[in-house]
Structure 1
Amino acid sequence: MRIINHLIVALAVCLLPMTTNAQTVPASRDEIGLSFAPLVRQAAPAVVNIYAKRIVEGRESPFAGDPFFSQFFQDFGKPTARVQNSLGSGVILGADGLVMSNFHVVGEATDIRVVLTDRREFTAKVILADEESDLALLKLEGAADLPFLALRDSDDVEVGELVLAIGNPFGVGQTVSSGIISGLARSSASLGRGYFIQTDAPVNPGNSGGALVDMAGRLIGINSAIITKSGGSNGVGFAIPADLVAQVMVQAAMGNDRFIRPWAGVSGQAVDAQMAEALGIDRPVGIVLDELHPDSPFGQAGLVPGDVIIRLDGADVNSPQEVMFRLAVAGIGKRVAVVYVRGGAENTAQVVLSAAPQSDSRMDMDITTGGLAGLSVAQIDPALIVALDLPLSAQGVVITAVEGPLARSGMAVGDIILGVNGRQVKTVEDIRASAAAGGRGWSVDLLRGGQVLRLRFRL
């Protein structure tokens, strides 16, 4: 009987399909259970290693690192320059050599070298960089007929999907790790202004800019950040959604060298359970508007403070970061539907998306003579609010540049000038008059980060 059992087992083994080298991308759960190798063979050649250098200016100071004296001697010491190296990954998105990576890998680099899996090397230059989204698009010089990844619609991604993370962790060479999509629409203070897809596929330093791909070999997102206490992967990694990657490529194709976002001109906060009850909403959903700029396109569409935005461009929104993401992927010039709740009833408005406008009456001024020589200022408008990250309610005159000896005064770009030598400042002309009337001693009142400061200095 034992011999018969052995024969049955042997016959069953002989009847199994024979493996060949002609493997294809897994098309079913059973095939996925066997091996990721065909998928890796398809996707990995489109993921590259990036070696970047940049020159960092600094000063040799005996007070460097001192928690107390260093703040008073920031400009003390001999000027120096050092080379800072960074290591990361990138994803080829076009056969002609378009590569997407992270801003924190290549955004300020002066020398970029890209190495493919077949060991070919290319020099590259940044053609569009955006620090806020942490994306940077590169163009490889002299590249053609390269393998590349197709983009997947981020809104189709579901929690629980199998994914692979491909990159160059710790500089050990291209590495593949597997996991699932463990969360969507992730945003928090620890992640900055970003809006991410979360994965438990191990992502480590050096994976930045690499690919998060699905089981069809399509790009779901660009790996960008992790939350860790050890410096290595704890299974909490974040990728920038492919929809935002696609919009960056669209703007690059239009000739933009920086990413331009539609301007909302609003501020708000996520609705919690207590707020939902007060607002007459059956559950916590959406964001309630606290403030709207007079030129806000949402205000022009009829929204007012206290309205709760629950859907934007057909997608639910539950955080300010999600609203900004939806605007960014929609793009300039698009008309989007906004569903909001007012007085317990749903309403719909159409909002035309545009960049933050520059006021026709805005005045910019460079002071070239007198005690404030080297100071550049401008009247605040929506364009400056966005460019300098000012509060939505900011008014008056803001510093746009500080050069020459005045740079040692303590004034900085983005400071709002409230007064000079006891004279109130509301317009650029007020600065001109103060500069002409001043002597060697100066007292300047500023608003910086919500705090009022008074700087005293002599020139």
Structure 2
Amino acid sequence: MVPVRPALAFALALALATGPGSPGSAQTQVPDTMTEIQLSFAPVVKAAAPSVVNIYAKRVVERGGLAGPFAQDPFFRRFFEGIAPRTQQVQNSLGSGVIVRPDGLVVTNLHVVGQATEIRAVLTDRREYEAEILLADADSDLVVLKLEGAEDLPALELRDTAEVEVGDLVLAIGNPFGVGQTVTSGIVSALARTREAPGGGAGYYLQTDAAINPGNSGGALVDMRGRLLGINTAILSRTGGSIGIGFAVPSDLVSQVVAQAEAGRSTLARPWAGLTGQPVDAALAEALGLERAQGLAVSEVHPLSPFAEAGLARGDVLLSVDDRPVGAETELEFRLSALGVGRTAEVAWLSDGARRTAEIRLTAAPDEPARDLRRLPGPSPLGGLEVSNLNPAVAMETGLPDDAAGVVVTDVAEEAVRAGFREGDRILAINGAEVADTEALEAIAARPPRVLELVVERAGRRGTMRFSR
């Protein structure tokens, strides 16, 4: 065993000391002497920093061309094409990444390398590797990269975040503002923060007050044993710099993303919950007759949901998945995603005041009834639309409710954009008649009536579109 100098012992003592509780758990203590206060995190940094790399991404973007409100209109773009030509420009972005396997698997953020034509990783010892994307997941804003020709690299061990507590000491390692690798210290400020993710949708995060700035994205949040707690992803800031509110994707989900990349997947397969609900607050707890506010009050359960099969029903309160609390839909999605498709999990819930438990099998959303993808013919206003029948799998992919039925737009050709259609639109009715499936919609598009009046739902709002010829 390599001896630790007394001047550095306390930083490791926090991680290595064990208390009277569970074996191997870290004992929480506060420095109470001047000697302890003057101690250093250097041993932790030396162990973890070589596993954090700088990521350089190059992408080609278009500049110039028509600007203003007409820029997205295909007609005006064609009309002004010769007058205001668009030019291509190379854009570089900078971020951080974490080596999680010795053979060169690196995890970073999608917003760091998304749409990149060239990705390069630079280690602390100045070795450089070209990288390719193995798996990308927009919802978690995570990407798994493979460094070409890499072997025997220093990889971080991932820690189970179930053991993490608010107040635990952490270090954030990355390359803020491109100044070079930087280490900042802080604590875990909160364990279950849900907020908008950089790529859209809702994310589930660990919160820390360790300084995280632009360029830290994709870097490591580590504990006092140098184990990975999360991938630094976002900050809450009014200035663009750190104000002590940073967010990291927990290592539980990072582990699942890496496992699926190693299995050959290019996208993250998520288990399907098939239920909706709302967090139980004090008022709702009183209305439900609960002793305290806890869990997720179930408002709807899809008949094919594994939770429905286990016995959960509308009005029940879901408490936990594999003994880990669930207090919001985003938290439930995170718990299931971290476990992965094909696993089993024990769920606990309250029904009529009684606590119940059951084992459920985590499966992907059912892809039934058949999608029956169709590209609608022209010259109807519907021409150029690609449409699909809705089922739980399609609803999950398009962000629609589990019980959404009918037809959804999955792709929009240029002429359909001009007509006002967008991906994700649900076409509910035409001229007062409900649209049942893609076959019926294709028949209407092939022989359109003189006047078309469509009822369309977009982002939960319904509107009417009228066309005549």
> 1:229-251 CA deviation, whole Å, 9 max, x = no partner?
11111111111111111000111
User: 1:59 touches 1:75 (CA, 8 Å); kept in 2?
Assistant: no
Q: Does 1:40 align with 2:45?
A: yes
1:290-301 pair list within 5 angstroms? 290-301=299-310
Match of 1:54 among 49, 52, 59: 59
CA distance in 2 between counterparts of 1:116 and 1:249 reads: 20
Distance 2:266 2:197 in 1: 28
- 2:295 pairs, out of 265, 286, 291, with 286
Q: What is aligned with 1:28?
A: 13
Question: In the alignment, what sits opposite 1:97?
Answer: 104
Q: 1:429 Cα deviation (Å)?
A: 2.2
Note the C-alpha offset of 1:183.
1.3
Cα distance 1:409–1:18, how it changes in 2: closer, same or farther (>3 A)?
Answer: closer
**Matched residues, percent identical?**
51
Q: TM-score, normalised by structure 2?
A: 0.87
Query: How do 1:328-407 and structure 2 match up within 5 A?
Result: 328-368=337-377, 370-371=379-380, 372-407=382-417
Superimposed CA distance per residue, residues 156-181 of structure 1 (whole angstroms, 9 cap, x where no aligned partner): 11111111100000111100111111
Structure 2 residue aligned with 1:260: 269
Q: Which moved more, 1:357-366 or 1:150-159?
A: 357-366
Please name the residue that 1:271 is paired with.
280
User: What does the per-residue CA deviation read over 1:122-165, in whole Å, with 9 as the maximum and x for residues that have no partner?
Assistant: 11111001011111000011111111111111111111111110
Measured in 1, the distance between the counterparts of 2:38 and 2:227 equals 19
Distance 1:412 1:59, change over 3 A: farther
Q: State the secondary structure of the residue aligned to 2:311.
A: coil
Which letter maps to 1:434? I
User: Aligned runs of 1:76-115 on 2, under 5 Å?
Assistant: 76=77, 77-78=80-81, 80=86, 81-115=88-122
Does residue 229 of structure 1 match 2:230?
A: no
Closer, same or farther in 2 for the Cα pair 1:54/1:453, shift >3 Å? farther
Q: Using the alignment, how far apart are the partners of 1:303 and 1:202 within structure 2? A: 42
> Contact conserved, 2:97 with 2:108, CA < 8 A, in 1?
yes
Give the match for residue 239 of structure 1.
248
**In 2 relative to 1, CA 109–356 (structure 1 residues): closer, same or farther, beyond 3 Å?**
same
- Whichever residue aligns with residue 44 of structure 2, its letter is L
In 1, distance between residues paired with 2:239 and 2:351?
Answer: 47
**Contact 1:166–1:211 (CA under 8 A) maintained in structure 2:** yes
Separation in 2 of the partners of 1:418 and 1:63? 32
Partner AA of 1:42 in structure 2: A
Distance 2:266 2:233 in 1: 21
The alpha-carbon distance between structure 1 residues 252 and 71, as it changes in their structure 2 partners (threshold 3 A), is closer
In 1, distance between residues paired with 2:74 and 2:417?
13
- Which structure's CA Rg is the greater one? 1
> C-alpha displacement at 1:18, in angstroms?
12
Aligned to 1:166: 173
- TM-fit CA distance, 1:458: 6.8
Please state how far the C-alpha of 1:38 moved relative to its aligned partner. Answer: 2.0
How far, CA to CA, are the matches of 1:276 and 1:402 in structure 2? 45
The runs of 5 or more residues in structure 1 that have no matched partner are 1-16
Aligned equivalent of 1:200: 209
State the 1:366 CA deviation. Answer: 2.2
| Matching of residue 453 in structure 1 with residue 458 in structure 2 | no
Map Cα deviations across residues 19-76 of structure 1 (whole Å, 9 max, x no partner): 699x889432577852122221221111011111223357622426xxxx66878963
User: Which sits farther off after the overlay, 244-253 or 430-439?
Assistant: 430-439
- What is the aligned partner in structure 2 of residue 11 from structure 1? none
3-state SS of 1:119 partner: coil
Amino acid at match of 1:417: I
Residue identity in the other structure for 2:402:
L
How many Å separate the matches in 2 of 1:39 and 1:390? 45
- CA drift of 1:391 comes to 2.1
Correspondence list, 1:401-440, <5 A = 401-420=411-430, 423-438=433-448
Structure 1 counterpart SS, 2:202: coil
Report how far residue 423 of structure 1 moved: 4.4
Matched, 1:311 2:320: yes
For residue 399 of structure 1, what is the amino acid of its counterpart?
A: V
Once the two structures are superposed, residues 433-455 of structure 1 have per-residue CA deviations (whole angstroms, 9 ceiling, x without a partner) of: 21122168654331111222233
In structure 2, relative to structure 1, the CA distance for the partners of 1:421 and 1:110 (3 Å cut) is farther
SS at match of 1:405: helix
The alpha carbon displacement at 1:422 in A equals: 5.2
Distance 1:18 1:437, change over 3 A: closer
Gaps of 5+ in 2: 15-34
